[in-house]
Structure 1
Amino acid sequence: MSELLHAFEAWLMDYGVWGLIAVSFADSSFFPIPPDVLLIPLAIANPENALLYALYTTVSSVIGALFGWWIGKKLGRPILVYLFSEQRIQKVEEYFKKYGPMALLIAGLTPVPYKIFTIFAGVSGVRIRTLVIWSIIGRGIRFFLEGAIILTLGAKAKPFIEENFTMLTLAAGGVLILAYIVYLIIRKKKHTV
């Protein structure tokens, strides 16, 4: 199976930026290949365009998230059961119960399949505005961080990203979540005064 995926990735690389845009869109709604597998080699080959590629990836991913949301809204929970294991669905439900729509931020930063979160957002009635905001933040941080690392390290970025990226994105997500909690506390105090 992995040979088939590698062949498919190589085929998509032939399409360059258009392949990156297509995979970024599809990854957020229905496709099993994350855009990082194209973003990283494309950006390493053209480091001066790394941040531009990150922008394309982010925008395409957010548009794909809207399509994932639409799939969830129109087809409901049966599509989740068809596409994903019950264990994964329950895990996503737990994240949404615990973090609300901020679960989209967490998923956007990490290597978990983002599509299950976007589809679940449609099933559970998350507002489109909320989906877009958290998708821009989560996916933007992830892809722009990769772009910045590649811009800084060049070809050495790939092993660095492979070894450290999950930790970096989780740390960035933790800082954002903490900042958001502080914002909510301050806002609540202002309303009670």
Structure 2
Amino acid sequence: MTEEVAKQRGLIRRLYDWMLHWADSKYGLLALVGLSFAESSFFPIPPDVLLIALVLGAPTRWYNYAFWCTLASVAGGLAGYGIGVFAWDTMGRWIVENVAHVTLVDVNGRLDIALPSYLVSSMGSSLGGEYLFQVYDYWNAWIVFIFGLTPLPYKLTTITAGVAHINLPIFLMASFAARACRFFVVAWLLHKWGPPAKEFIDKYFNILCISFVVLLIGGFAVLKFVF
């Protein structure tokens, strides 16, 4: 492990612990709103960390936490979209490369982002390409909803959606649907089963998200073929 990687991991660990400390504070909900907003445009850690801790501490408030987490995430997504539209060459590219830690590559004269191999291999040609903007060209706003459900950094989706000039009202609707699905499912599982649900989420949530997305895109591909 290089010294730079060790420093990055140390910083992430401190941010993670800092997020969790808000769960024991009277400002927990306010912190959840602020961090959910920030994560959609520039903050490196997803709000699920604090959402899980808050719901475990007050299971009957699961709906309230999920609702405000969703609204704040969509509002932050709008900020990320704005970065993509107005500040891609400065702030946007810096966030993608230094916060999301994603490498930009030149594809036919356009900076693009290579998609994870597990997505490309599992979805094949139905994805529309091996690079993010190729997928935007193929799926348009659907990709905002689909990637909003995956473990991919949401800021990556919101900023690049702005670069791709996805229709703004459709972007907002897709963002709300995706984030509501994610946060309400997590909060409900914790409300229903408590700490065992946290263990399940920690172990399998990413796999379940990817599996759902694979099935979703497969369904869309069938519809495109039929109609």
TM-score under structure 2 length normalisation: 0.73
Provide the rounded CA distance (Å) in 2 between the counterparts of 1:11 and 1:139: 24
Provide the rounded CA distance (Å) in 2 between the counterparts of 1:64 and 1:107: 16
Q: Does 1:5 align with 2:45?
A: no
Provide the rounded CA distance (Å) in 2 between the counterparts of 1:129 and 1:184: 23
Provide the rounded CA distance (Å) in 2 between the counterparts of 1:90 and 1:18: 34
Note the 1:71-150 alignment, pairs <5 A.
Answer: 71-85=83-97, 87=103, 89-91=112-114, 92-150=132-190
Contact 1:17 1:53 in 2 (8 A): yes
Provide the rounded CA distance (Å) in 2 between the counterparts of 1:80 and 1:10: 27
C-alpha displacement of 1:179: 5.1
Paired residue type of 1:87: T
Identity percentage over the alignment?
32
C-alpha displacement of 1:166: 1.2
Provide the rounded CA distance (Å) in 1 between the counterparts of 2:223 and 2:83: 32
Contact 1:65 1:118 in 2 (8 A): yes
Provide the rounded CA distance (Å) in 1 between the counterparts of 2:67 and 2:223: 27
Paired residue type of 1:12: W
Q: Name stretches of at least 5 consecutive residues in structure 2 with no aligned partner.
A: 1-10, 105-111, 115-131
Tell me which moved more, 175-184 or 63-72: 175-184
Provide the rounded CA distance (Å) in 2 between the counterparts of 1:145 and 1:11: 23
Q: Does 1:25 align with 2:37?
A: yes
Count matched residues.
187
Tell me which moved more, 101-110 or 79-88: 79-88
* Residue 52 of structure 1: aligned partner: 64
Provide the rounded CA distance (Å) in 2 between the counterparts of 1:158 and 1:81: 34
* Residue 191 of structure 1: aligned partner: none
Cα deviation code 1:161-185 (max 9, x no counterpart): 0011112223333444455556667
> Root-mean-square deviation (CA), in Å?
2.2
Q: Select the residue among 210, 219, 227 that pairs with 1:170.
A: 210
Cα deviation code 1:37-57 (max 9, x no counterpart): 100010011111112211111
Provide the rounded CA distance (Å) in 2 between the counterparts of 1:152 and 1:18: 24
C-alpha displacement of 1:73: 1.2
Contact 2:40 2:154 in 1 (8 A): yes
